[in-house]
Every structure is written in structure tokens, then in C-alpha cells.
Amino acid sequence: MTSIKNLLVSISLLLASQTFAQLDRTEKKLSKWVDDNNEEAVELLKELVNINSGTMNFEGVKAVGDVLMPRFEALGMDTEWVSGDEFNRAGHLVAKIEGGKGKKILMIGHLDTVFEPDSPNQEWIPIDENIVKGPGIADMKGGDVIILQALSALNAQGVLKDMNITVVMTGDEELSGRPLSKSKATLIEAAKWADISLGFENGDGNPATVNVARRSSSGWTLTTTGNAAHSSQVFKPQVGAGAIYEAARILNQFYDELSEEEFLTFNPGRIMGGTTITHNPTEQSGTAFGKNNVVSKDVIVTGDIRCISPEQIRKTQETMRRIVADNLPGTTATIEFSEGYPPFAPTDANYSLMNMFSQVSQDLGFGEVGPVNPADAGAADISFTSEFIEMGIDGMGMSGADDHTINETGDLRALPKQSKRSAVLIYRIWKGIEISKK
């Protein structure tokens, strides 16, 4: 038994040494630095998780930024807190260093969580030696710490000062301020500067995947009108079908014509119809009054729409407008589309960057990395960079489960793994290693 055990150990060490041989001297040091400093990273993560930073808790969001900013400054980075007064949010953290060499890289995180001060999920609670329950531990304070650890490892090897890197950690990813033109201005400005964007959301929670695409997320409002009259006269030429029938026709035709298109979803989430209705879009509520013997006069339907590309958004909106315009007798209808998150389209360049990240992962001994199905990927801040960058990937954050619920957990084993993979990827991009287009 002992000889077999020794043989297995020898094989394991041999495989590890062969894997490690794929790394150059600096990359090995980056990996070791992350391991040597992982305990401090876990303590920092615990500190951040225990600060309530629900989006509308402006003081808490700023407090998370206050913990992180001095740490970026210690790396020689210039930092700034961008006020959110213009869009009714706390604001954003920006850290930047320009060394004049290599690609310009944008690293994206966010400081806020979905857990406001009245949530029962408020503190770091270990489940076992690897799994911790806590507000925002996976989405995405773990990702914020990974950003800092990767840059700290690069700084420790003396190469960060020669890189071009901007970090933007937004304060309103979970509930964006309005107008988006102001709340996302800092992120868009950084994207226009950058060549590559790296997002540190937790993706689908699987460290063997990253996001090469994310669907858009925006809203629509359908309004229909009819002629209020006694129900015994419905369908008569002078009365027509009524607002509710018209809304039903439109929604059913949306389903018939669009529901089978890949990566497209559109969901009517709220409807009010009758003789008299009210609608409060801010509070996402409304009222409706009507009688069974009265033809409906007004209907309002609100919903969301998610697409994989700008072309799909355009085509879908054109189809919806055409359907809305073909009214039943005695009715009118209009549809309005609101601003939202653009799509992060699955470009060949994004896949190439994923391949490079996968090679890094394999060289570190962590296995291959593949893409998340875009149908399983929600909107994220990286979407606002898509129009301006050469390439990007998201989902480089900390693995976890049940995010956005009071049972959200994070896997501490992912913290050093993702920090190493991120540091080596950035190092190779900086060195100008060719990004595979396979």
C-alpha cells in the first residue's frame, strides 16, 4: 500500500511540475505571491462583506470604496471617487495607472449589492472551511478583491508600473441610476480609452467558464385604447373590440412571431386594463377599475426585452412596432422602448481572448475554460464597453451560488485561483503574446 501511495504522489508531483513548467519565471512568482497573500485577501473580503452596501445605501457603498481606494493608491495608481449626485446614486471608484506600454486594459467591478440595510442577509457566516454565506460575497465583492490581488501580484513583480490599466468599480450595477447616459458615463469613458475589457462578475458560478457574450436588458411599454361602451355593443362598428382585446392580440402575436428566435426573450411583467387605470412606473405599480358589462377603454402593459446583438434589437423592435400598428376595429395602440443595458455581442475577438485565458488556466493547472451560454447570462456593466473595445470577457470573479438571495454563498477556493489566472492573463497581454483566434 505504501509503495502505491508513493507512486501516486510521485506521479502527482511530476504532473504538477510539467504544468508549472508552462509558466515563465515571473508568472511563477505571480502565482506564489497570490498564495503567500491569500490569507490577507480573505480578511479583506470579510471586511467588505460585513459592510452593508445595498445600492441605495449611499454611505455603505462609499464605505466599501473607502476601504479599497488606499489599497489601489499603495500600488502607485491614481484614484478618484466620481460623485453620483447627477444620477441619484453613491458614485463610482476609479483607479488608473499608465506606464506607456502594451494594451490598455479596463477591469470592471461594482461596489453595491442587492441587500439593503433592511435585508436579513447582513454578515459573513462560514458554512464550512471553503464556503461562506454573506451579502454580495460572490456578486461581487469577491471579484473586487480578485482585481486588487491580481494587480498587487503584478506590482510585487515590478511590472504594474509599466502597464496601462484602469479599474472602474461602479456603485449602481444592481440598480442603475438614471439617466444611464450619466450613470454609465465613467464606464463608457474608460471603455473608449481601453483596448480590452475584463469583467469580474461571478458569471454562472463555474470557474471553468467565462462570458464572451451577455444579452441586453431594456424595457418596453405598450398602450392600447378602445371605445368605452356597454358590453352588449362590443364588436359593433361604432364600438369595436376594446382595449383589452387589442392588448391581447398584440401580446399573442408577439409570442407567435418572436418566441422561437434564439437568444431573444421579451416578457410582459405588468398589465393594467379597464375603464380607468393608473400607472406608477417608478414604483412599478398601478391600479385598474372596470366592469364586466363595459368595453375596456385603456390598457398599459410593461415588460423587458433581451437580445444578443444590436442587429437583433433593431429587428425585434421593428417587428413589434409592425404588430402594434395593425389594430383591431375601434382601437389604437403604441409601443415605446426605454433605455437599458446594451448587448455584449459574442465576437470572434472575445472568443480569442477566452482561448488565451483558457491557456493561462491550463498552464496554471486549473484546466480549460469555455464560454457561458449567452441565454444563461444576464446583463452587466461590461455591456456598456462593447461598442468601443477590441475584445473582452466577463465572469472572471469569485465562484458562488444563490446570488441575489439571502442564501448567497462564495467559494473561498476560487479567490486565489481567479487571482492567479487574472494576473497571468494581464501579464501575457502586456508582454504582447499573440491572442489565439482558434
CATH number at residue 230: 3.30.70.360
30 shares its domain with 143 = yes
Strands 104-110 and 164-170: parallel
| CA R_g for the chain | 25
- Give the strands of the sheet with 78-83, arranged side by side: 78-83, 91-98, 164-170, 104-110, 196-199, 391-393
149 shares its domain with 283 = no
289 shares its domain with 366 = no
Q: Is residue 417 a contact partner of residue 208, using CB atoms and an 8 Å limit?
A: no
Widest Cα–Cα separation across the chain:
95
* Closest residue by Cα to residue 110 from 421, 381, 401, 395: 381
- Give the strands of the sheet with 131-133, arranged side by side: 125-126, 131-133, 409-411, 400-401
179 shares its domain with 300 = no
DSSP 427: H
Q: Is residue 125 a contact partner of residue 132, using CB atoms and an 8 Å limit?
A: yes
49 shares its domain with 129 = yes
110 shares its domain with 184 = yes
Q: With respect to residue 179, please indicate whether it lies within any of the assigned structural domains.
A: yes
The answer for residues whose C-beta is within 8 angstroms of residue 27's C-beta and 6 or more apart is: 363, 424, 427
Peptide bond into 179 cis (omega under 30): yes
Last residue of a domain, one of 286, 318, 337: 337
pLDDT, residue 17, reads: 39
Q: With respect to residue 317, please indicate whether it lies within any of the assigned structural domains.
A: yes
User: Domain range spanning residue 295?
Assistant: 218-337
41 shares its domain with 142 = yes
CATH number of 89's domain: 3.40.630.10
CA dihedral 316, 321, 323, 325 (to 10 degrees): -170
151 shares its domain with 225 = no
Give the three cell numbers for residue 266: 421579451
pLDDT, residue 375, reads: 85
Q: With respect to residue 125, please indicate whether it lies within any of the assigned structural domains.
A: yes
Q: Where are the alpha helices (DSSP H) in 171-261?
A: 180-183, 185-193, 243-258
Burial class of residue 24, CB neighbours in 10 A (0-12, 13-18, 19+): middle
Q: Coil, helix or strand for 328?
A: coil
Q: Is residue 195 a contact partner of residue 389, using CB atoms and an 8 Å limit?
A: yes
Q: With respect to residue 438, please indicate whether it lies within any of the assigned structural domains.
A: no
- Which H/E stretch holds residue 94? strand 91-98
Number of H helices, E strands in the chain: 11, 18
pLDDT, residue 58, reads: 98
Count up the domains in the chain and report the number. Answer: 2
Single pTM value for the model? 0.88
pLDDT, residue 19, reads: 46
Q: With respect to residue 9, please indicate whether it lies within any of the assigned structural domains.
A: no
Last residue of a domain, one of 302, 337, 372: 337
Q: How far is it, in rounded angstroms, from Cα 162 to Cα 76?
A: 11
Q: With respect to residue 276, please indicate whether it lies within any of the assigned structural domains.
A: yes
206 shares its domain with 228 = no
Q: Kindly report the CA angle at 160 between 23 and 395, in degrees rounded to 5?
A: 70
204 shares its domain with 223 = no
pLDDT, residue 374, reads: 87
197 shares its domain with 260 = no
Q: With respect to residue 12, please indicate whether it lies within any of the assigned structural domains.
A: no
Q: Is residue 219 a contact partner of residue 338, using CB atoms and an 8 Å limit?
A: yes
Q: Is residue 422 a contact partner of residue 146, using CB atoms and an 8 Å limit?
A: yes
Q: With respect to residue 3, please indicate whether it lies within any of the assigned structural domains.
A: no
Give the three cell numbers for residue 240: 369595436
Beta bridge partners of residue 294, listed in sequence order: 230
pLDDT, residue 435, reads: 60
Mean pLDDT by 10 residues, the chain (438 residues): 42 41 93 98 98 98 98 98 98 95 95 97 97 97 98 98 97 95 97 98 91 96 98 97 98 98 96 97 92 98 96 97 98 96 95 98 97 87 96 96 95 98 98 63
117 shares its domain with 251 = no
Last residue of a domain, one of 337, 355, 382: 337
